[in-house]
Structure 1
């Protein structure tokens, strides 16, 4: 039987491939796939927010105790610092405007912290119980595609090649795998990784993904958001029955 971290590594590898697939959709100008990925942003935001608030936060408080609130806040603030304070231009989704030449590399640095904690989240969740690990994996996989779109389109917008754009997305995937491996090696992450990851996940869902669609007209994207939250509950029921 696989250890929790071994299982987490397999799931993290699948999630990491989502970064590359998102990048390939951009470099190959797959219009239909890009339109579908836009709906992944909304659906993923609903699923992620539900997982973070209903499942991850209670477990984080149980594992980290009185330190949990500060750690959740630290995770939230760390992502804001790297993605929106130190990074001059960042938003989820395809970049279609001319941007500063530093926008691509700086966004990559900002996303590396976030994707590292994707791996920490998957590993920490599997250390609690497999069902939680699967739910966290699904939440992360759903935003890996738009993540790949984001970094690859930024790289293309600053004049980098398609290969470099896909390579940047692959680095994000590697950071996720590193998060899994290091969680197993660092005792602080074993105990408190879930709390830090909760803050990161809440930020990505509520502050990164939701603003990308909340100003757009129509009912499809809001519907996808609520469907994502509903899908979380359906997934939870199914996993509870299997478990």
Structure 2
């Protein structure tokens, strides 16, 4: 049954990953609106999904708010420094004035930050399945909703990068992380003894915060022609995340993972 759950998450993730690629790359206006919508989703994911879960896990495992804040800051600062060094010292001529090259860094940073969180999603599914098939089913539906919006936004950032073939490989790997983590943790790990899970998630939140605020937001609103439609699409993206989180919380029924 757990394997069926894992396959379900993978299929949902792959479908969500495919949707942004239906937009033609040459249609810049539609593509930019897609990026704006995805930026709203990513901002919502950051503050509505990732941050509360990371802080909750950190506190539940005996951590302090101060340590959690330091880990978030560490993730943000590390990625800031790496981004600075790559653009300044490694292939400076290649990256200067090359939007697609900078988007490669953005998409890979988002991939790393979300992959860490995706791993713990898999652990959560395994823990719920251990609690009972009915609990596992509710958590599965909630995670599928989460994964759909997260993978959609990640795939949208990949549209800005250089290589679509490699992008699809990364998205496939990303979609496999939660299912594999669920199966492996169920058969080989003690899912209740992850004392460092909260801090690891806080670190990934810092990485994701840099990508969202320093890369995606400027990208979404860098055009001079800013109109109400663009802001509306951005707010719709945030609203989608809020609605998904509310629905997911009701499906979970107060279950603590």
TM-score, normalising length: structure 1: 0.67
Report if the CA contact (8 A) 1:13-1:177 is conserved. Answer: yes
Mark the structure with the bigger radius of gyration. 2
| Correspondence for 1:205 | 212
Q: Deviations over 1:17-59 (max 9, x none)?
A: 468x37x843xx4x2xx43332222222222222322332222
Number of equivalenced pairs: 215
2:10, 2:176 within 8 Å by CA — same for their partners in 1?
Answer: no
Structure 2 Cα separation of the partners of residues 171 and 62 of structure 1 = 32
CA-CA distance at 1:115 after TM superposition: 0.8
Cα root mean square deviation, aligned: 3.8
Shift of 1:211: 0.9
Inter-partner Cα distance in structure 2 for 1:149 and 1:207: 18
Over 3 Å counting, the alpha-carbon distance change for 1:230 and 1:114 in structure 2 is closer
Q: 5+ residue gaps in structure 1?
A: 90-98, 153-164
Secondary structure of 2:2's match? coil
* Alpha-carbon distance change, 230 to 106 in structure 1, aligned in 2, over 3 angstroms: closer
Q: Which residue of 1 aligns with 2:242?
A: 233
Task: Look up the match of 1:124.
Answer: 120
Distance change >3 Å, CA 105–CA 237, structure 1 → 2: closer
Deviates more, 1:46-55 or 1:223-232: 46-55
Q: Tell me, yes or no, if the aligned pair for 2:95 and 2:102 is still in contact at 8 Å.
A: no
Give the unaligned 5+ runs of structure 2. 126-138, 253-257
**Per-residue deviation, residues 116-172 of structure 1 (Å, max 9, x unmatched):** 3322222323544636634542442232333222212xxxxxxxxxxxx22332343
